[in-house]
């Protein structure tokens, strides 16, 4: 006889139940209950397959499959009593199934183990999150395309080192983020395709002697095929690592954009006005409108990348096959997924609602000698100067304008000719920001025509 308090799933060889601390460190039900729907879907597919292959009777499979739906509805309605003593979602569901349908419940775990079960559930959960990320990214890309289209020819300063560099267009800047989020989207799709192999039927680690049909369960659960090596199938968490690294890279992109929005919405820049719906006020300073959503998005990369690092460290050095360390995978992924989806949605909302201040952008575009490179290029193109000499001449003209406290187009032709005698008044044609951006016609350049070409390409792609 085993002790009353020993585990009903594996208590056979145990004389005593676990210490309370053991139960606390061992249990995952506090978080893995989020995989209830996936667990039940996996078990229903497994039961159907066990009947189809003659391992269990049709009537037992029928009872199991229906009973599992009852359990699912209890969980969804909130009436299900989760028990820490039953460790995890897998044992909580199975124990309740036993209460609901009795003896046939004990046949469900034939030819499988919690090791392939948890890998299957978790893969199904992560796969759903890849799909949610795809939807979130597509919505954000669409919002950026709308901004880009509206301001394809609005001029603004382009920066390097956050110092004015050359004029660019608003559309071009928005499209830079479309490219980044587009790569995130392709990473999501790649990783999702790669992960879509079913662990179910790998059993504890070695496969099973029952004549199971792994193809059948794989298909029922929307996997492309069964995973080909049972040891790998139960111990692989690459899919979670790829999810977290994909999320991390995307979070980096989100945080860079968020940082720009924080800067751009400041009184010193006034490049954009964020909507009231995505800003907050200050309880003491009545004039304030703070870009909190942007700041929080900027910060989310910390926890998302933290989750990535944490799981990398959990997996590092684990011998094959399953080790309980791997139970630490879920909280990291759950938290990162929640925050990634939230950040994507908040960014989409902010981008949709924000107003680009065309006049402020244009005023800033011309400041800081932003057309100096155009001037140097003119000296090369029209006067045939080597670029290095043209750079030097332009540098002298910039210094002169700086001394006079004016911009490059405000220098007189006499001023210009005092530095290089061959300069003609044709030079003024390249000193306006409009001409500057219009001249950047190289593929992928900032000229409005080029920006519109890229917008069109993206729209066709979506
Ligand atoms: N709760 C466990 C986890 O999340 C399920 C697998 C347990 N397997 C085992 N052999 N103890 O990883």
Query: What is the residue-wise DSSP string for 38-65?
Result: HHHHHHHHHHHHHHHTTSS-HHHHHHHH
| Residue 2 confidence (pLDDT) | 39
| Nearest C-alpha neighbor of 409 from the set 381, 429, 380, 384 | 429
Distance of CA 399 to the CA centre of its chain: 45
Catalytic option among 73, 282, 367, 429 = 282
367 has catalytic annotation: no
Q: Which atom of ligand 1 sits closest to the CA of residue 204?
A: 10
d(CA 24, ligand 1 centre) in Å? 14
pTM: 0.93
Q: Average pLDDT per run of 10 along the chain, which is 462 residues long? A: 60 86 96 98 98 98 98 98 97 98 98 98 98 98 98 97 95 98 98 98 98 98 98 98 98 98 96 93 83 97 98 98 98 98 98 97 92 94 96 96 94 96 94 93 97 98 93
| Residue 8 confidence (pLDDT) | 72
| Nearest C-alpha neighbor of 431 from the set 345, 340, 367, 353 | 367
| Nearest C-alpha neighbor of 347 from the set 244, 250, 258 | 258
Q: Contact at 8 Å (CB) between 201 and 192?
A: no
Ligand 1 binding pocket includes 116 (Cβ within 6 Å): no
Catalytic option among 79, 161, 283, 442 = 161
| Residue 150 confidence (pLDDT) | 98
Q: What is the total residue count of the chain?
A: 462
| Residue 284 confidence (pLDDT) | 80
| Residue 446 confidence (pLDDT) | 97
Q: Whose CA is nearest to atom 11 of ligand 1?
A: 324
């Amino acid at each position: 006889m085993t002790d009353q308090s020993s585990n009903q799933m594996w208590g056979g060889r145990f004389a005593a139940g676990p210490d309370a601390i053991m139960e606390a460190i061992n249990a995952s039900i506090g978080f893995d209950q989020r995989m209830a729907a996936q667990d039940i879907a996996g078990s229903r597919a497994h039961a159907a397959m066990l009947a189809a292959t003659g391992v269990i009777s049709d009537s037992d499979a029928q009872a199991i499959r229906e009973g599992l739906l009852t359990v699912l509805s209890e969980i969804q309605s909130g009436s299900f009593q989760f028990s820490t003593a039953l460790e995890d979602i897998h044992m909580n569901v199975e124990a309740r199934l036993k209460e609901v349908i009795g003896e046939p419940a004990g046949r469900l775990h034939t030819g499988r183990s919690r090791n392939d079960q948890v890998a299957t559930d978790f893969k199904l959960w992560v796969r759903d999150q890849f799909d949610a990320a795809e939807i979130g990214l597509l919505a954000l890309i669409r919002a950026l395309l709308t901004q880009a289209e509206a301001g394809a020819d609005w001029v603004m300063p382009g920066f390097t080192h956050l110092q004015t560099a050359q004029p660019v267009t608003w559309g071009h800047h928005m499209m830079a983020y479309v490219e980044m989020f587009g790569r995130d989207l392709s990473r999501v799709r790649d990783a999702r395709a790669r992960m879509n192999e079913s662990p179910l039927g790998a059993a504890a680690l070695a496969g099973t002697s029952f004549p199971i049909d792994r193809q059948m369960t794989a298909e029922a659960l929307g996997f492309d095929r069964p995973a080909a090596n049972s040891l790998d199938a139960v111990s692989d968490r690459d899919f979670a690592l790829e999810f977290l690294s994909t999320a991390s890279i995307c979070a980096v992109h989100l945080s860079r954009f968020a940082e720009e929005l924080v800067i751009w919405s400041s009184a010193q820049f006034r490049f954009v006005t964020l909507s009231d719906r995505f800003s907050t006020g200050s309880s003491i300073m009545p004039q304030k409108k703070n870009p909190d959503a942007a700041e929080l998005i900027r910060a989310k990369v910390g926890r998302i990348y933290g989750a990535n690092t944490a799981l990398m460290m959990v997996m590092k050095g684990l011998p094959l096959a399953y080790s309980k360390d791997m139970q630490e995978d879920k909280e990291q992924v759950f938290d990162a997924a929640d925050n990634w989806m939230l950040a994507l949605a908040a960014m989409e909302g902010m981008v949709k609602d924000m107003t680009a201040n065309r006049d402020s952008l244009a005023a800033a575009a011309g400041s800081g000698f932003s057309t100096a490179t155009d001037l140097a290029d003119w000296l090369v193109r029209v006067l045939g100067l080597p670029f290095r000499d043209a750079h030097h001449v332009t540098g002298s003209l910039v210094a002169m304008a700086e001394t006079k406290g004016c911009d490059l187009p405000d220098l007189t032709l006499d001023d210009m000719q005092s530095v290089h005698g061959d300069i003609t008044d044709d030079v003024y044609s390249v000193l306006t920001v409009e001409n500057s951006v219009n001249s950047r016609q190289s593929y992928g350049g900032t000229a409005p025509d080029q920006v519109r070409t890229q917008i069109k390409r993206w729209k066709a792609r979506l």
